Structures are given as C-alpha cells and as structure tokens.
Amino acid sequence: MNTFLRWAAVLATLAAILAAGTPAGVPPEAWRLFAIFAATIVGSILRPVPAGAIVFLGVVTIAVTGALPPAKALGGYSEPLVWLVLAAFFLSRGVLKTGLGRRIAYIFIRAIRKSSLGLVYALAGTDVLLASFLPSNSARAGGIIFPITRSLAEAYDSHPGPTARRLGAFLLFAVYQCDVIACAAFLTGQVSNVLAAKFAHDIAHVDLSWGTWALGASVPAIIALLFLPWLLFKLYPPEITSTPDATRIANDELIRLGAMKRDEKVMLAIFAIVAGLWLTSAWHHLDYTVVALVGVSALFLSNVLTWDDIIGERAAWDVFLWYGGLVRMAAALGETGLTTRFAQASAAYTTGWHWPAALAALLAIYVFAHYGFASITAHISAMFTPFLVVLLAAGAPPFLSVILLAYFSNLGAATTHFGTTTSPIYFGAGYLSQKDWWRLGFISLLVTLSIFSVFGLLWWRLLGWI
C-alpha cells in the first residue's frame, strides 16, 4: 500500500466516525476525541509516516479541534509511567555503554549455555520471581530484565536490522510475552492489579488477596510460561538455536574484558541502588519513576553518561513522544464515559443468553478492547467496573467473573506494541517490525487465554472455588 492510500485510510476512519453523528448523550468533543483516537490507531498500524509522528499529529489535532484543552491534550507527557519508560532506555544505555551489559551477558551465557530457549526461561524465571513482590512491570521487566536481554542479543552480534533474527528478535519478544504472564500471576504483578482487586471488593464483594490471586493463577501461569516460549521458538525461531560453544566463548570474552573498569563499577553500583530502591518501595514510598530518574541523574553526574548520550538516544525520545500521546488519549477516552456505554451496548447483544455464553462473549469483547488502550491501568480503570456489572447482571458467578477479568486484563497486553508500559521499551529496541509484533502478539494472546480458560477453570474447580 503506497503512502497516499495509507493516508486515505486514516482520514477515512476519521471522516466515517464523524459522519456517523454524535450518539445521544455523548458530548461532541468526546466523539471527536474518539474519532481522532481511532484514526491515530489506524495510522499507527498503516504508518504513512513513523508512528511517533502519527501520534504527534493526533495530539495536535485533539488540541486544535477542542476535543481536549491543550493542557490536557499534552498531559500524557507529564505521566510518571511515560518518564519511567524514558528512564529505562537511559539506564539500558548506561549498561551497554560501560560494557557491564556484555559482562553480565557472558556470565549468563556461561551459566546457561545450552540454548536460546533456555535463555528465555532463565530471564522469565527472574522476572516472575521479582513479580511476586515488585509491583511494577516497568521497573522489573523494563529496568532490570530488559538491559540484560538486550545485552545477551548483542553478545551474539544480533542488532536491529539484518541481524535481528539471529537472536534478538526472538529473545526480546519471548521475554516480553513472559512478562505479560508474570503481570497476571500476582497481585503485585503490576500496579493496577490492586485497583482491580478494589473494584472486585466494592462491586462483587469478592476479596482477591495476594494469596488468592497467586494460588488461582499458579497452574495456568506455570503452564503458559513453559509452553508459550517453546511455541514462539517454533513459530519465530532465532538463527542461533543451540550454543554448544557458549562456555568457551563466554570465558574467552570475560578474559578479554579483564577486570571491571571504573565506569562499570559505578554503573553496577547505581543499578544495584536503583533496583534495591524499587524492591523496597513499600518501606520508603519513593515513586518508581523518581527512583529511575535519580539513577539517570547519578549516571550523568558521575560522567558514565554524557548529556550527548541522553539527548542522542533517539529511540527513547521517539517512544516518549508516541507513548505519552497514546496514554493521554486512552485515559481521556475513558473519562468521557464512552467505555461504559460500550460495555452496556455489548451487554445488549447477550440479553437472554445463558450466563456461560454471555460470560465468554463479554470477556472476549473486554480483552480485545485492549487494542485501544496504551496501558493495563487505563484498561482496568475504564472498563473493569462496567464489564463486571454487566457480567453479574447476566448471571455469571461473582468470583469467576472477577478472577477472569483480573487475569485477562493483563493478558490483553500481549497484543500491541503499546499494550503496557514495558511493550514500547521492548518494541522500541527495534528488533521486530510492528507487523510481526502484532501477528505474534495475537497468537500469544489466543494461547494464554486458552490456557487460563481451560486449565484455570479445571484448577479452580479442583480448589472448590467454582
């Protein structure tokens, strides 16, 4: 499709929604916001210009048309999570620049040494362990796991571009998909799970404690974590599948690197302090983003990173522009009440159905609606309550409705390159095309939904919960 046709599709989306007319009870500016958001998503898929430029144009259009006041249209760039994504890129830059990333990578390679699939299991296991008590997938998978994953790819001379499929594309995508499962596995898997638990208590009088959440997710999550990387290994195999000489290569490279240099030691110390502060946030109550920005500041002041390094990290600033814009659009759309109307309209199609059929249909609508959200938090905030209400009205059991909505809220982030805070970090590394990301993300979502639906239901029945 040439550029003209791509632009035509974007503008046609905008025009079609506006031409349909504003539904009764919906403010005109809210309908304009929806039209611009939908056109922006179409533009991000078709890309007549880079995705960052599409979102930038969308933000400008929202302000010009009065769909949002300028301060609110630009409000996404003040969101702490958006700055946390930016800081994760800078921390990763420090790990790579100092050579610490390569050293860590070779230590991992020496320890695991068997296969690229084994690397995914090792990194995913680390992420899941951290998810049991670190309630920020951005800090965990973005700030801790991502730099190591990227370093492992580069240790095998796999970089964005012609060598991406050598190892990096498979490694980064598989690790990201495992992080999505880790988000669903614990109440502390990501920050808005607590919000879902609060809604569950307030509306359905169901208590989702840490133990209940983890016990309910344990069997389906373990199965998904074991099966999905293997499936992706078959569907999207890296060129390097076996590493029989990894131990020798790793030892040779570690000898060549020699003793740790000054910048490596500083980077390691700052990395350890940042990770430690993230892990102990319940004690000192410092925001994850603040901790990350302090870490970046320390890298700058210690001259590990120069200001040119920071402003020259083009991928980071590109992600900042498009992710900040999408976060604001999605949040504003939720505030208009359109998502509540969407839930009510969806429920109307299931009127008179037996509750199992209604439950399945409404859950499918709920989870695939994540294509329109730039974070799990935005999805839960906007749609968890209205969909829980309509599920209960359809006669679905309260506990089953709550636990499926809670897990599916996280699993839906598998689909897009903006589905949760960590997706733009992993996608922004440049190893996968958007087409491959969306195609494999859709497959991954179907797999995890099936596993949680089948094995989850069997497990919960065995526990006597349903």
pLDDT tens by residue, 107-145: 776 776 578 898 898 888 888 887 886 666 877 788 778
Give the phi and the psi of residue 164 in degrees, each rounded to 5.
-60, -40
Give the phi and the psi of residue 115 in degrees, each rounded to 5.
-160, 165
Region 81-106: mean pLDDT is: 79
Rg (CA), the chain: 22
Please report which confidence band the pLDDT of residue 255 belongs to, taking 50, 70 and 90 as the band edges: confident
Whole-angstrom Cα distance, residue 414 to residue 411? 6
- The residue type of 450 is S
In this structure, the dihedral spanned by the alpha carbons of residues 176, 114, 111 and 235, taken in order and rounded to 10 degrees, is 0
Whether the model clears a pTM of 0.85, i.e. scores above it, the answer is: no
How is residue 287 written in tokens? 């925001």
- HSE (side-chain half, CA atoms, 13 Å) at 368: 10
How is residue 95 written in tokens? 């790990």
Give percent above pLDDT 90 in the chain: 38
- CB distance 198 to 192 below 8 Å: no
Of 134 and 284, more confident: 284
